[in-house]
Structure 1
């Protein structure tokens, strides 16, 4: 595993309104693993949920056999899901303790995206921005059904209602998307505190500029200047080595359906 084939940077901020940062992230370029998690606002211990996800994924850093596999990721998420459910059941009012998750994993020359909730993964390739994840949210379901436009969904009263999360249900479902990694790819993982105040064209424009540390800072400052009400977390990854840019091997393309769901059960 060539751990010098990419670089990454991560930033988080409580935002302009909230007093507690319920977001967490993992930036582990040595093993090709990155994650953002957004504790469910309005529920108890959202920060506990997002931190537990990162802690359980971080335990994989001690594994000696690289690259990591999606199976190893799934096992950790199953454990977190059950632990959060058990923790919630011990509370007097039995509230949900949950978190979104978006994970980027590099294994050999492949990229794997795993997610639940509305935290996102974007990819910039050859100047074109693509949202790789599909939000697990009430408004996204309405968009897919043709009941709302994307613009209407962004300001809909149910815009914050998600339909999947770690800790929300005993039967955990994680979506998976896998494809080849190309030199020159740039990835962005973010919680919704960023994409709620920046449009995709604005994100695309920024992502084509600057080295990663400057770019991450510019993106964070843009969100804060727009008075982001939610916590903001972003992780950015540049691929410096891989399958040569524009080369199409045809072995595995990123045309897998976004509903390629992994049902995870105990």
Structure 2
């Protein structure tokens, strides 16, 4: 039997340049049925242009009701930005203009995530926090092979070296996952400026407030209080069963 549950989606976002950087190279989007965080590649020219280009391209989408087609349209838009950034790098005569991306698309009782790089999607369900995305990074490869521990990965000299990004290569392999949504699910999209300074236990505690605005503000506050060595961006999303036959969206934020 088909699940026809409708959900009301609420979201809030917060970004901060941090305490050590002169420029915020993160960008975010919170639009009906589509949420995004992009982190311009640190150390490369025009990282802020790269992350903004992703958000601007996705903000113009009018996604269909079918999840598979919504995924395809989101993927096509990101691949278009990949080519744009490759062209821009050639024009500017720099090696790379790139950005991570993590995007969450919701349709009906399901959602999908597309990502490249080390910006993450977390899910808090039944008070259990789960990292749904797998970092495309050098240290994650080492950790997956059992060569270093998760704690060692956090402090590894190459912890910022990512292996996949928008604009980094002519062919972009966007990883995708889909899952069914449940009442009360709390999702978190974030750049690495959050999880490098705030551990999973504290992330779970903050999300368990079930208040998107409070959680977004508090997560950024914690990241700054614990060092704030990078730009930090979070988008917090809550799904709750809605009355009626269609989805509704409550989001005070649009783009960053």
TM-score by length of 1: 0.86
For the residue of structure 1 that corresponds to 2:88, the secondary structure is helix
Cross-structure match for 2:25: 22
The ranges of structure 1 where at least 4 consecutive aligned residues each deviate by more than 3 angstroms after the TM superposition are 1-4, 64-68
Q: What is the rounded CA distance, in whole Å, between the counterparts of 1:209 and 1:132 in structure 2?
A: 20
User: 2 CA distance for matches of 1:210 and 1:175?
Assistant: 28
Partner of 2:65: 66
Kindly state the Cα deviation for residue 200 of structure 1 after the two structures are TM-superposed: 1.0
* Pairwise CA distance, 1:226: 1.2
RMSD: 1.6
Spell out, residue by residue over 1:106-152, the C-alpha distance to the aligned partner (whole angstroms, 9 max, x if none): 01211101100000000000110000000000000000011000000
Deviation of residue 65 (structure 1)?
A: 3.9
What is residue 157 of structure 1 aligned with on the other side?
A: 157
> Which stretch of the first structure deviates more once superposed, 78-87 or 198-207?
198-207
Note if contact 2:5-2:109 (Cα within 8 Å) is conserved in structure 1. no
Structure 2 residue runs of 5 or longer lacking an equivalent are 243-256
Q: Deviations over 1:75-122 (max 9, x none)?
A: 101110001001101123x32000000001101211101100000000
Kindly indicate whether structure 1 or structure 2 has the higher relative contact order, using CA contacts under 8 Å at least 6 residues apart: 2
Residue aligning to 1:212:
212
* Distance (whole Å) between structure 1 residues aligned to residue 5 and residue 149 of structure 2: 42
User: Distance between the aligned counterparts of 1:178 and 1:22, measured in 2?
Assistant: 28
**Partner-residue secondary structure (3-state), 2:113:** strand
What are the Cα deviations for residues 11-70 of structure 1, in whole angstroms up to 9, with x where unaligned?
100001101000000001x2x10000000010000000000000000110xx27435610
Q: Matched residue of 2:92: which SS?
A: coil
Match of 1:261 in 2: none
Q: The residue matched to 2:173 in structure 1 has which SS?
A: strand
Aligned to 1:116: 116
Aligned pairs, number: 237
Q: Report the equivalent of 1:253.
A: none
Query: Match for 2:12 among 4, 9, 12?
Result: 9
SS in structure 2 at match of 1:90: helix
Pairing 1:86–2:87 present: yes
Distance 1:238 1:170, change over 3 A: same
Query: 1:117 & 1:172 partners in 2: Cα distance?
Result: 11
Q: Secondary structure of 2:60's match?
A: helix
The TM-score with structure 2 as length reference comes to 0.89
Residue 6 of structure 1: how far off its partner (Å): 1.1
Report matched runs for 1:74-223 at 5 Å.
74-92=75-93, 94-209=94-209, 211-223=211-223
1:232–1:2: structure 2 CA closer, same or farther, 3 Å change rule?
Answer: farther
Give the Cα separation in 2 of the matches to 1:166 and 1:216.
25
Residues 1:22 and 1:149: Cα distance change in structure 2 (over 3 Å)? same
User: Which structure 1 residue ranges, 5 or more long, are not aligned?
Assistant: 243-266
